[in-house]
Amino acid sequence: MIYKLPIRVYYEDTDMAGIVYYANYLRYIERGRSEWVREVGLDQNRMKDEDGIVFAVRRVEADYLAPARLDDELVVETWVESRKPVRMVMGQEVKRGDQVLFRAMVTVICMTLDGKPVRLPHWDEPAA
């Protein structure tokens, strides 16, 4: 399943050159992952409050391919590339139309509130 999140580029997202500031792509893909979690039916607040577990990013590999600019309409695509008991690798792309502007592979783990790794919760992926 590929989850798609529309994003618009606002003035606050850009740098002095008028293009999206590089760190904001990390914010965009974080939003994409957060919405993906909701889409698969996981409640992160309940996981934390009732089970004492949270998701954490362990690694990000990022490629900046082309700039986005003020008022661009973008789409953040998010999918699971691989999944193991305590971690998963998520693929993400930020696109303007069919053009890929940014690509990332993000390793996410599940851990207790004191930082010990635990098994990922189960979810059923909805049909695309």
Distance CA 19, CA 66 (A): 10
Tokens 């693929």, residue? 91
Active site residue 72: no
Three-state secondary-structure class, residue 59 = strand
Distance CA 128, CA 22 (A): 30
Find the distance separating the first CA and the last CA of the chain, reported in whole Å. Answer: 5
Q: Which of 13, 15, 63, 72 is catalytic?
A: 15
- Maximal C-alpha separation, the chain: 46
Q: Residues with catalytic annotation? A: 15
